[in-house]
A and B are shown apart, each in its own frame.
Chain A
Amino acid sequence: MRARLLPFALMMALCSCSSRADKQLEAVKSARSVIAEWALVEEQAAAGRAQSTYVGQMRELAKDQLKTAEQELSQQPDAASLIDSLRSHAPDAAALKRAAGALKPLENSLETA
């Protein structure tokens, strides 16, 4: 019986490895990438090198993805409010790049936690 429970116990132990700090790290990494992706889309749009339908949809998809990250980062008020301001405005590529850069220190601190 014990032997049968061993794989289950091992799996539970692995699942518990995903701590709250890990969840926040995952959220901040995801947010930073989504913001950088959005910045690249805005750069292409500003240069007239992307279709308007594509750009509009990518903006909406980026905002949806950031909403999930913002909820996960509720314990990090600075990061959450930064993401919230991006979602509620129409930032250009430069503002988005600054925002991605501003999240880097938080990512580094969670990485070493």
Chain B
Amino acid sequence: MIVQLIIGALMIGCVYGLVGLGYGLIYKASGLMSLAQGDMLMFGAFISLTFYKYMGLPFFVSLFLTMVIMFCLGMFIQRVLVTKLLEKGAQTVYVILCTISISMILQNTAMFTWGSNVMQFPSLFKTDAINILGYKIVPENLMALGVAVVCMTSLHFFMTKSKFGTSMRAAAQDELAASALGINVPAAKGASWGIASMLAGGIGAVIGPIFGVYVSMGAMIGQKGFAGAVVGGYGNMYGAIIGGLFFGFVETFISAYVTSSYKDFISFAVLIAVMIFMPTGLFKEQVME
């Protein structure tokens, strides 16, 4: 049993980690907070479901297309809505409010397009559970874990080794200096929002087969991902992953061994405790004025 628990915890921890990663990416790149990642996850799940179930495309093709669409959506939100809002001299709180309303619009659009019932993915694999080393493991869990790990490693290599990734990090560190060096800072910001949405949408597509796809699936995950990002140090990509894994494990093991109705309550209590006693998180990011 404990092996299933660990795999489940790893899987949900990676989900939280990727969502939190997106939050941290947005914060590092533009200094703004977005609260819409959870709903990006939900939207990505619905889009990939449409591709896979209704258009009959193979799963990885629909996953790829979903990620492209979500990237464009994220970039659009940043370039059109957020930039315009900032030009009007809005405070950062108003941008948060804007992302909240975007998340509401996403939820409602999903509800009108696909209905408010839980939709199921047709099964991806032929077997219900595969036998690894004597333990029965659900293959969708492993696939989700695999996709998450691939996303994280490729993001790491993109950010550190590729030219555009490095220029994104430069733009995040110091806008003025980066633009003085000829780096396209608006494109970098838009790309960071786009990547955040892409990751959320991609992982949503992958957990769709596990949890089913429904309009409110993103809200809790978004908040826990945010919590993971805070625990790891808000803005730090690797911290977000570790924070996400932390919450994944806390949640899974508490609901298995202690109580399952209070699991969200306890996760949020842990978050508040961390914000009180260690607000800079594990990787010591700036959070107080």
A binds B: no
